[in-house]
Chain A
Amino acid sequence: MQVVEIGERIKVRADFTPAGRIIPLMFRRGRHDPLRIRRINATWEERGHGSRTVYFSVSVENSDDVFHLRYREEDRTWWLDSLAMDG
């Protein structure tokens, strides 16, 4: 398994529920084709430091790769932190 650190800002389409849940649906990295999220493997939050940061581990359609996304409530930005590939 190989983990590639990326740290890029990305565009994400997500649902924000009244209960405060965030559900990313698809994302696009630069000029690449958008990737539709097949499954959210895990979600965890970091509190403190003034605002919430929410982390997601997601799998996308037509791929076994695992993407780690991050949403910063402070400035409402999405980031692609890393990518894990098998092999």
Chain B
Amino acid sequence: MHVDIDAFFASVEQIRNPLLRGRPVIVGSGVIASCSYEARQYGLRAGMPLDEALRRCPHAVVLEGHYPTYRCFAEQVFDICRRISPDIETHLDDAYCDLSGTGRIYPHPLDAGRLLKGLIRRETGLSVTVGIGSNRMIARMASGSAKPDGLMLVEEGKEEEFIANLPVERLPGVGHATGEVLRALNINTIGEMRRLSREALRALFGTNGILLHERCRGQDTRVVGEDEVPRSISRETTFHRPTADAREIRGTLHYLVERAAGAARQLGIECSTVKVHIRYSDFADAAASRRLPRATALDGDIYATALEVLQGLFSRRASLRHVGVTLSGFRPASAHQTALFEETHDSRSANLCACLDNLRRRFGHSIVVAGDSIALLGRLRRDPHGYVLRTPCLTK
């Protein structure tokens, strides 16, 4: 069962403030992070620049958003999901619930779905869409087809038929680039993808092609489970004003690395690649990635490499409006050997990070400001959760 909160950020704002109900609401800064269904009637969508959104809908209410509040509401929803199924996997605004073995409690899976929707609506005020299928991919595609406030079950054995006429981009694993390649081959629907053999898909897309061969037939062997290892962890933000101030830029990069590395340590994983992305004030983008000397989740090690990448990227005499860092190439934290003579440095750094994590878990991220992040003191507002960024970005 896939549970997806409808228009999450905007819905929370409308629940917190009844004056916003029935009105077009946008949450975002620079671009739309989330918009209410009233706003979507004007063609507004997540990712759209705000100035374009306001041209289309001048009377929309624009809110910057408060992400810790959204997290509170999401946790409430996930707690309700745990009452329905003991095995759940949670993300930002959606969750997967494994209904295996609950046949005695819910004679029909739709009973579980209806119960869950009702509980969430009653206890939080939020509307969710529920999709149910024989695997997580089908469940997710079902919820995607039923939004908003929907409930859809794809019967076992009907998976291929359900997805056959959907556009290829709806298939998980088909992004923009893959979609373009398929459309160039005159393959527009998932059903048409089945014409390609496993070998052909592997030749076109590598390992991902083998996955796509299974998925276009409705197959997905991934298991529902908490704390699935992400493919990447990103943290990025737009500056409140475009800046060329080196201290501010380094401070922001350091802070983003702290948050991303902290998330990796919480999951018990280490990254081997760091990517830095910048956007100049004229909206030109630049990005580069580099492999780390060895897999790590330590702030200092990752920041040192990220800073080198940034210094190589930031070569124009122009201000920056946006900076981001992405960690990838994860593996479990325990699965590596340190060189003998580096043990002391490693253990000291690891202990320091562990102490910081412990303090921040208990007292909030702002309890300690470290490294180049200190440069942001006085420049950015802080709350117990950390610096209040203009556009905090969450894990993909």
Task: List chain A positions with a Cβ less than 8 A from chain B.
Answer: 1, 3, 41-42, 44-50, 55, 57, 59, 64, 66, 68, 84-86
Asked, given contacts A48-B361, A50-B362, whether A1 binds B18 with beta carbons under 8 Å apart, the answer is no
CA distance A44 to B125 in the complex (A): 11
Task: List chain B positions with a Cβ less than 8 A from chain A.
Answer: 15-20, 61, 68-69, 72-73, 75-76, 124-125, 361-364, 384
CA distance A41 to B125 in the complex (A): 9
**Count, A-B residue pairs, CB within 8 A:** 48
Known: A1-B19, A49-B384. 16 other contacts (CB 8 A): A1-B17, A3-B17, A41-B15, A42-B124, A45-B72, A45-B76, A48-B361, A48-B362, A49-B362, A50-B362, A55-B69, A55-B72, A57-B15, A57-B16, A66-B16, A68-B16
CA distance A85 to B61 in the complex (A): 13
Q: Is B17's CB under 8 angstroms from A84's CB?
A: yes
**CB closest chain-A residue, reference B384:** A49
Q: Is A44's CB under 8 angstroms from B69's CB?
A: yes
| B75 surroundings in chain A (CB, below 8 A) | 47
| B61 surroundings in chain A (CB, below 8 A) | 1
A70 to chain B, nearest CB (A): 11
| B364 surroundings in chain A (CB, below 8 A) | 49
B19, B68, B76: residue with the most chain A Cβ atoms closer than 10 Å: B19
**CB closest chain-A residue, reference B123:** A43
Asked, given contacts A64-B19, A68-B16, whether A44 binds B72 with beta carbons under 8 Å apart, the answer is yes
Q: Is B72's CB under 8 angstroms from A86's CB?
A: no
B191 to chain A, nearest CB (A): 43
CA distance A48 to B367 in the complex (A): 14
Q: Say which residue of A42, A47, A48 sits within 8 Å of B125 (CB atoms).
A: A42
Q: Which applies to chain A's interface (DSSP): helix, strand, loop or mixed?
A: strand
CA distance A85 to B18 in the complex (A): 10
Q: Is A66's CB under 8 angstroms from B15's CB?
A: no
Q: Is B17's CB under 8 angstroms from A57's CB?
A: yes
**CB closest chain-A residue, reference B68:** A46
Asked, given contacts A42-B125, A48-B361, whether A84 binds B19 with beta carbons under 8 Å apart, the answer is yes
| B19 surroundings in chain A (CB, below 8 A) | 1, 64, 66, 84-86
